[in-house]
């Protein structure tokens, strides 16, 4: 069991590392290109996506601990993660001159793309 837990923690660290790399590239794009609204939208989306992945990791850790201790867990926080993504979209809709809505949505999905690509290469 500890082997699987170690694999899970390593995968989480990789996701965060790749997400931070993408965030850094987006910040550089925002600072050095003329597409500031697009890159700022990507920054917002990736930052919220990183926050959601971290939140999910924490909740899954608590779930595992509760299972070991024989306790029940109320929720994994899906509604909270959905609401943070919705808030990011609302901010983009409110400030379209600063944030590109499509870039925010792409940024929100970026961590899921990272997970899929990582899973593909890990299974090979």
Structure confidence at residue 6 (pLDDT): 75
- Could you tell me the sign of the dihedral formed by the alpha carbons of 19, 109, 81, 97, in that order? positive
Per-residue model confidence as pLDDT tens for the chain (124 residues): 555 667 878 889 999 999 999 999 999 999 999 999 999 999 999 999 999 999 998 888 888 888 888 888 777 788 999 999 999 999 999 999 999 999 999 999 999 999 999 989 888 7
HEC string of the chain?
CHHHHHHHHHHHHHHHHHHHHHHHHHHHHHHHCCCHHHHHHHHHHHHHHHHHHHHHHHHHHHHHHHHHHCCCCCCCCHHHHHHHHHHHHHHHHHCCCCCCHHHHHHHHHHHHHHHHHHHHHHHC
Q: Can you give the residue ranges of every domain in the chain?
A: 2-123
Q: What is the pTM for the complete model shown?
A: 0.87
């Amino acid at each position: 069991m500890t082997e699987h837990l170690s694999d899970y923690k390593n995968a989480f660290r990789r996701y965060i590392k790749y997400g931070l790399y993408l965030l850094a590239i987006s910040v550089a794009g925002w600072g050095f290109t003329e597409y500031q609204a697009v890159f700022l939208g990507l920054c917002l989306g990736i930052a919220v996506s990183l926050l959601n992945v971290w939140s999910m990791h924490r909740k899954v850790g608590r779930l595992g601990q509760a299972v070991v201790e024989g306790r029940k867990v109320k929720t994994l926080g899906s509604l909270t993660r959905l609401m943070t993504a919705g808030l990011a979209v609302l901010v983009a809709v409110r400030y379209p001159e600063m944030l590109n809505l499509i870039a925010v949505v792409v940024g929100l999905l970026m961590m899921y793309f990272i997970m899929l690509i990582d899973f593909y290469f890990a299974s090979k």
